[in-house]
A and B are shown apart, each in its own frame.
Chain A
């Protein structure tokens, strides 16, 4: 067990190093931050001076070395755009993103499993057909189209919900939450639905397929032969066996939700890390871009690590084989 974890940890560190190096080397193609940092009447000398001060003319490898060195000391520098420490900014905006991801995960899990079971059991009912064909929209429509559509329906036309932003925020120590006020729920619901749709569809289709698969197996037939009630068969036997792959997918998709939140947060002006990243890209705010990409890479690596360890615990075949 220990050697297994150690091996996985070593791999994770390697992945982190590669991801950060690759993303860092991309920054030179994004453009020149200095132009955004000074007014149009700054002189050429002033621009050069800032470039020099920020070390933008050093070779990439030197810049990267400096970045890694600072990062190991937990120093991500100051945002070029808003001149505040990057780690403060991420810490400030992370709660918004995590709450959005949390609510979306709940929505996609709940509706994904419920609708998946329904369409799996009632394969031929017209409701199932409607659910399945609408779910196609969930995977095929781009997130921003869904977002704008929801805004126009619920905020502009019906005026039930706010169109954007995060209101009803309450401070619990350093964590700012919007999940304990009605205002907060009103503002989170549209972005959360938008973000959840893709995952919801995925889970729905997965659960449905698994459910149909399991229903054909011998032990279900045997259970039927034993005269168990339909409910017991469906929920105690079939559903349980369905959930193993679902749990795997969910683990991996939490990372996907954080990544997808970039688009959703931009459409809804949700003040999380994704919105911050987009603004940083437009400004060529290298410190924020670098820190954010490292953060996302770390997130994926940690989730994968946990999933791997869970496999190890859950599935005896890996234990024996590894």
Chain B
């Protein structure tokens, strides 16, 4: 401590403070030196990255959620996988073929789990049974599989309930666990909500994948190291030896970590910070069209709208639905709300999904005058009122898009009252059919229109709160589930889309764009499904 100069107490305070500041300065300088010395000493390629939300669990069958799937996909593998261009590739299966009543998969030989156990058909049967368990979040995806026949250690037949032409597409996030490991650790079934104890698989992993779990502190730090015994060693461009993943929930902090050089890769920088990242030396932004389309749904199924002053239900009239489409200026939304990062469209599914065609995809011309005329023709010359339900924490700028739409509808005389609320309150409204007019975004993991039809357009679709019911579309939805002839199937999908585009049950806005922030030290191919695939990550 400072020596006191007896007469002036203020001096004491100032001296002490100064002395402490000097100490702090020494401490800081010392640590800066320590940091600069420590960094170059790393000989191996360490990739440090961040995103908003950590994986919820390492149990591969417990949660069907993108960050969880992406994290587990670095340690676990599925029979079939997709590359960054979303093209199907063999992973644990070397080949597969469709038969009359199911699919036969020929498995890769010589594959070992991280603990050294051999990968065989038995593990596939075990993992699929586990994924079909009641507590699994994947049981819907593979419900078409009724039984499995092990032909030998390296070939297996999946018997389906009727023909399922897209089974391989449905298996890309169905990861394979080792039966022996699961038995030894008592994780035969996925974690149940009602259970009282955490099961071993929540924080431990034993897959066949290119990376091995070294340590895991949920929401803090997860460290993975390269699996030198991986079957694909040398077959992929990736040269990462170690991955350090640190989730950062605050967007500004996440960007700061990239700007300060503490991470090499940010999966989800906020749109408004992209310009800042781009303009920083040594950093770059990659963008790609995402497989997720944003649109409004109009309930044309009920006889009387719940939140409208109109007699009956205006949305039952296709002219009103067309007017609702013509009123939206999608280019303005792209320019003003989305900072240019959107692909305006008139389809509710994205390019890359079988069924999206260049003819149907371009947005309709904005035409408020014609929209007003159509409303008048339909018997609503003065418009009507309706409430728009909108999430405010789910999609890029979701609430702002809705606000823009409100003013665009005002121009044609439709008074829209906006109700923007958190997603956990918004989605139940759609599921319980309690909304007249709502925003929804839809991604398509199978990249096939069947996934769109069955949830959003079939009259029984669980997310079809639009009440849309076209018998031919329902018929096609059922037919393409079992049509194995590719040409015939595609023409049915195209036929259905033509009907849908004419009926206009939804107001499509745009396809989302996803953006990644990268340091120049690393190159990672961006993928439309927003998944980080470290086997393609190259560090310079």
Binding site for B on A (CB under 8 A): 30-33, 35-44, 46-47, 50, 53-54, 75, 77-78, 80-85, 88, 114-115, 117-118, 121-122, 125, 127, 144, 148, 151-152, 155-156, 159-166, 182, 185-186, 229-231, 234-235, 266-269, 271, 275-276, 278-279, 282-284
Contact = CB atoms under 8 A, between A and B. Distances in A.
B428 to A, nearest CB: 4
Nearest to A233: B9
B58 to A, nearest CB: 10
B219 A164 contact: no
A81 B67 CA distance: 13
B4 A231 contact: yes
B462 A44 contact: yes
A83 B256 contact: no
Interface in B23-81: 27-28, 30-32, 34, 56-57, 59, 62-65
B87 interface: no
Nearest to B454: A41
A159 B7 contact: no
Interface string B163-177: 000000000000000
Nearest to B198: A84
A159 B56 contact: no
Contacts of A283: 424
Residue in B7, B59, B250, B427 whose Cβ sees the most chain A Cβ within 10 Å: B250
A46 B133 CA distance: 13
Nearest to A53: B194
B425 interface: yes
B88 interface: no
B6 interface: yes
B191 interface: yes
Interface in B404-435: 422-425, 427-428, 431
A269 B4 contact: no
A269 B250 contact: yes
A43 B503 CA distance: 26
B249 A269 contact: yes
A44 B461 CA distance: 10
Contacts of A268: 253
B517 interface: no
B193 A164 contact: no
B385 interface: no
A186 B141 CA distance: 47
Nearest to A166: B220
Contacts of A38: 64, 137
Given A41-B140, A231-B6, A269-B246, A118 B428 contact: no
A55 B219 CA distance: 28
A77 to B, nearest CB: 7
15 contacts: A30-B424, A31-B425, A32-B425, A41-B141, A41-B451, A83-B57, A83-B59, A125-B10, A152-B256, A156-B259, A164-B248, A164-B253, A164-B257, A271-B217, A271-B220
Contacts of A42: 137, 140, 462
Contact of B256 (A84, A155, A182): A155
Nearest to B463: A40
Contact of A151 (B194, B253, B451): B253
Contact of B9 (A81, A155, A163, A234): A234
Q: What are the 6 closest A-B residue pairs judged by CB atoms, nearest first? A: A31-B424, A39-B64, A31-B425, A32-B428, A84-B198, A35-B427
B17 interface: yes
B332 interface: no
Contacts of A163: 253, 256-257, 260, 262
Nearest to A127: B14
B261 interface: yes
A47 B137 CA distance: 11
Contact of A155 (B219, B262, B425): B262
Nearest to B195: A78
A229 B5 CA distance: 12
B56 A82 contact: yes
Given A42-B137, A77-B196, A160-B28, A271 B219 contact: yes
Contact of A80 (B27, B193, B443): B193
Contacts of B62: 83
Contact of B140 (A43, A125, A284): A43
Contact of A279 (B27, B219, B259, B423): B219
A161 B32 CA distance: 8
A158 to B, nearest CB: 9
A83 B9 contact: no
A117 B13 contact: yes
B424 A36 contact: yes
Contacts of B194: 53-54, 78
A83 B7 contact: no
Interface string B252-287: 110011011110000000000000000000000000
B83 interface: no
Given A31-B422, A88-B198, 9 more contacts: A40-B64, A40-B443, A82-B202, A83-B59, A159-B32, A230-B9, A231-B4, A234-B9, A271-B220
A82 B220 CA distance: 13
Contact of A164 (B12, B30, B256, B455): B256
A32 B427 contact: yes
Contact of A39 (B137, B191, B247): B137
Contacts of A81: 56
Given A164-B256, A231-B7, A114 B423 contact: no
B8 interface: yes
B66 to A, nearest CB: 10
B377 interface: no
Residue in B193, B196, B218, B262 whose Cβ sees the most chain A Cβ within 10 Å: B193
A13 B415 CA distance: 52
B197 interface: yes
A266 B248 CA distance: 8
B16 interface: yes
B152 interface: no
A114 B249 contact: no
A148 B191 CA distance: 38
A17 B22 CA distance: 50
A284 B426 CA distance: 13
A41 B64 contact: yes
Interface string B454-485: 01000000110000000000000000000000
B303 interface: no
A229 B250 contact: no
Contact of B262 (A44, A54, A118, A162): A162
A141 to B, nearest CB: 15
Contacts of A235: 9
Contacts of B262: 155, 162-163
Given A53-B194, A182-B31, A235-B9, A41 B253 contact: no
B114 to A, nearest CB: 22
B32 A276 contact: no
A111 to B, nearest CB: 8
A88 B202 CA distance: 14
B393 interface: yes
A115 B259 CA distance: 35
A151 B256 CA distance: 7
A156 B280 CA distance: 11
A134 to B, nearest CB: 14
Contacts of B27: 185
